[in-house]
Amino acid sequence: MNKEFETEELASVSRRNFFKRTATVSAAAAATIIAPATLLADDENIMHHTKWGTSLGKECNYNPYGLPSKYEHNVVRRTSPLMSSAGDMHAAISMTPLHELNGIITPNGLHFTRTHNGVAEVDPNKFRLMIHGLVEKTIVLTLDQLKRYPSESRVLFLECPSNGAAEWKGPQFGSLQFARGMMACTEWTGVRLSTILDDLGLKPEAKWMLAEGSDGSEMSRTLPIEKVLDDCMLVYAQNGEALRDEQGYPVRLMAPGWEANLCVKWLKRLEFGDKPWYAKEETSKYTALTASGLAIQHFYALETNSIITSPCPEKPWTDLKVGDLVEIEGLAWSGHGTIRGVDISFDGGKNFVEAHLKGLVLPKAWTRFSYMYKYEGKPLLLQSRSYDDSDNVQPTVNQEKKVVGVEGVYHRNAIHTWAVDAKGEVTNVQVRS
């Protein structure tokens, strides 16, 4: 009863203020003196008790596996028939909502998903991993046995080499999510392959490793031993919990910085050999046809790349007033190493200034960059250009096109341009000739 009374009281105060305010406005108008504070209407959200403040909330553990607020229902992966074979969503890809992410960690439920034969649901009790070929000892591991090996954790981006593939010939998506959403960055936990190979003993003639998945597509890829021994992992956890089915539960290969397709999901078998296998997804697909008519094969690392995430088409500057100081923010990443820095252009690449890196700067992980900008309400051509500790600088569209042409499908890392118009609307354009 008391609560209801208070609500009433607040409401009536609000109404009284309304009349008072109206009177003030009239008086102010007459005197042509406007004091902005008195013009402001009282916010109903402040003047009234809220529903959630005047009732009992849900039970503490009402949802034993927590979910985002129901108000966040639009923060989801999205897809389109264009991202599939003939609209068939078993061989398809869904995109991470980059415009809604913060920091460098992607929540597991928003991690982009690529499947070639649907999402396999592997029974962990029936999971077996076989490691054989040119090793002194072949083994079969259960999931529990794999987890007995000492673990390591790494924050790593994972990117489909087709990220941005639809835009080789020009801009196509009026959306950050679709223009660049075939990537995510999470903390992966598992066993270094070198730790297991220490026990098995690699034969000296072993040069390549075949990784094979257990799903319907039997995804297979060949990797060179050097990478396997350097930093490849067999991962079973992502952001502290078991891999999601979509990410290869219970175990996937992790080749840091390399094509996500090489990080074979629903892993089943590793074989060591002296020759590469020429699996389907490293011959007919995942090879980059260049203008010479020849194609790059075994195209491993994703090159240095960056994208401005704020503003973007989904999060424009339409609410800004001229003179507002606003942060430009974005993501940079490189499969070759660590991001050293990012430059920003406001005029479509004629002139650049240095942005600032912020937060954790980790190898082969998303790195946030930031730049404070005073909004002028004028059209801009916003670009970001990253560079890494392996001496790579992100190319322009023309620079990349000159070397590899426009039919390669994979590994597009050209500088991206957002056009910001006078109203603050953001569209996807390309600066090219």
| Window 103 to 122, contacts with another protein (CB under 8 A) | 116-117
Q: 330 vs 363, which CB is nearer to another protein?
A: 363
Shortest distance in whole angstroms from residue 135 CB to another protein: 10
Among 93, 263, 394, 416, binds another protein (CB under 8 A): 394
**How is residue 236 annotated by DSSP?**
E
Selected range binding another protein among 27-35, 38-46, 67-75, 244-252, rule: CB under 8 A: 67-75
Q: 6 vs 376, which CB is nearer to another protein?
A: 376
**Residue length of the chain:** 433
Q: 99 vs 252, which CB is nearer to another protein?
A: 99
Among 7, 393, 424, 425, binds another protein (CB under 8 A): 393
Contacts to another protein from residues 1-30, by CB under 8 A: none
Tokens, residue 36? 């902005």
CB-based burial label for 294 (10 Å; 0-12, 13-18, 19+): exposed
Among 28, 49, 300, 370, binds another protein (CB under 8 A): 300
Shortest distance in whole angstroms from residue 34 CB to another protein: 28
Contacts to another protein from residues 306-335, by CB under 8 A: 314-315, 334-335
Does position 368 bind another protein by CB under 8 A?
A: no
C-alpha span between 398 and 385 (Å, rounded): 14
Among 107, 337, 377, 424, binds another protein (CB under 8 A): 337
45 φ, ψ (degrees, to nearest 5): -70, -15
Contacts to another protein from residues 199-238, by CB under 8 A: 199, 207, 210, 212, 216-218, 220, 224-227, 230-231
SS (H, E, C) 274-334: CCCCCCHHHCCCCCEECCCCCEECCCCECCCEEEEEECECCECCCCCCCCCEEEEEEEEEC
Does position 362 bind another protein by CB under 8 A?
A: yes
C-alpha span between 332 and 264 (Å, rounded): 24
C-alpha span between 333 and 362 (Å, rounded): 9
3-state secondary structure of 1: coil
**Amino acid, single-letter form, for residue 25:** V
Q: 21 vs 147, which CB is nearer to another protein?
A: 147
Among 392, 416, 418, 426, binds another protein (CB under 8 A): 392
Among 8, 9, 44, 88, binds another protein (CB under 8 A): 88
Shortest distance in whole angstroms from residue 230 CB to another protein: 5
Among 9, 44, 198, 241, binds another protein (CB under 8 A): 198
Cβ atoms of 115 and 182 closer than 8 Å? no
Cβ atoms of 144 and 124 closer than 8 Å? no
Distances (CA, A) of 74 to 78, 121, 149, 311: 10, 26, 40, 18
**Amino acid, single-letter form, for residue 243:** L
Residues 6+ apart with CB under 8 A from 293: none
Torsion of CA 396, 402, 408, 410, to 10 degrees: -30
Under rule CB under 8 A, how many of the chain's residues touch another protein?
Answer: 157
Does position 280 bind another protein by CB under 8 A?
A: yes
Q: 40 vs 61, which CB is nearer to another protein?
A: 61
Selected range binding another protein among 31-39, 42-50, 236-244, 421-429, rule: CB under 8 A: 421-429
Selected range binding another protein among 16-24, 79-87, 157-165, 239-247, rule: CB under 8 A: 79-87
